Amino acid sequence: MQTKVPSPIPRIIGHRGASRDAPENTLESFRLAWKQGAAGIEADFRLTADNRIVCMHDESTLRTTGVNLSIADSPLVELQALNAGRWKGPKWPSARIPLLDEVLAALPHGTWLYIEIKSGREIIAPLEKVLRGSKISPERIRLLSFSAPLITELKKHLPDWYSCWLCDYRLSLLKQTWSPSRDDVIETLRSCGADGLASANRGFLDRELVHTLKENGWEIHVWTVDRLADAEHLCEMGVDSIMTNRPGWLLQKLTMGTVLS
């Protein structure tokens, strides 16, 4: 009788924190993710008008605060006066838009922070200042961006920090081909000097591609995974981390179940 060996569970990363349960990209959401056992959190960061780095996915604050302010055109004092939790329910009356400095200061020992950069290269100097001034080891940080040229710049200015290229894919139903192609992805990773791929959870990502990435020394992180079947499949493929809106639930399911290799 053949023994079935469970696949290792990769790092479970709270996507914008425990964002299914708490207001995304707030300290409240991050603390809940850590409480639920997440190995780390992923969060989005933008540069304010006064060159401070705040945690916000959208260009505007409208969706998560009800007040329409542009992050790039607003000073920190105006942004942090907004309520970023009320939209998620009365449990979050005091949630605010946090600074990157505050997120780094709150990061529990041994956990990871995935920093998705939403601004352009103008954020690099303030980012370098914050990261170098923090007590967090570069090994616990992952810098993520959809911009390959920005990845190249990050590697120049912050060579000790891991920078991963974010990529989503489109499937042509007529041709049954993905864009970008596998060759395009590999070439982009090589040309921009990325340390890994932060991939959308799509059918494009298969065991062969994961093997190729690992063979070339690249990490592979996958977003956004909220279904158990998808997570089990990714565990079997051997990805480095899974980003999810429900880290506590997914971790419990993966821990209780038998994920087969």
Question: What's the whole-model pTM score?
Answer: 0.95
Range of the domain at 29: 15-256
Q: Are 117 and 42 in contact (CB under 8 A)?
A: no
pLDDT at residue 43, rounded to an integer: 99
Task: Name the residue with higher pLDDT: 176 or 108.
Answer: 108
> At 128, which helix (H) or strand (E)?
helix 124-133
**Assigned domain for 261 exists:** no
Question: Would 128 be classed as within a structural domain?
Answer: yes
In a domain, 84, yes or no: yes
85 within a domain of the structure (yes/no): yes
Q: Is residue 8 part of a domain?
A: no
20 assigned to some structural domain = yes
What's the CATH code of the domain at 251?
Answer: 3.20.20.190
Mean pLDDT along residues 48-72 = 98
pLDDT digits 0-9 by tens, 9-59: 999 999 999 999 999 999 999 999 999 999 999 999 999 999 999 999 999
Asked if residue 189 belongs to a domain, the reply is yes
Per-position DSSP letters for 82-118, written without gaps between them = S-SSGGG-TT-TT--PPBHHHHHHHPPTT-EEEEEE-
Task: For CA atoms 74, 78, 84, 86, give the dihedral sign.
Answer: negative
Number of domains present in the structure of the chain:
1
Cβ 195 vs Cβ 165: under 8 Å: no
Q: What is the pLDDT of residues 86-145, one digit of tens each?
A: 999 999 999 999 999 999 999 999 999 999 999 999 999 999 999 999 999 999 999 999
Q: Is residue 225 part of a domain?
A: yes
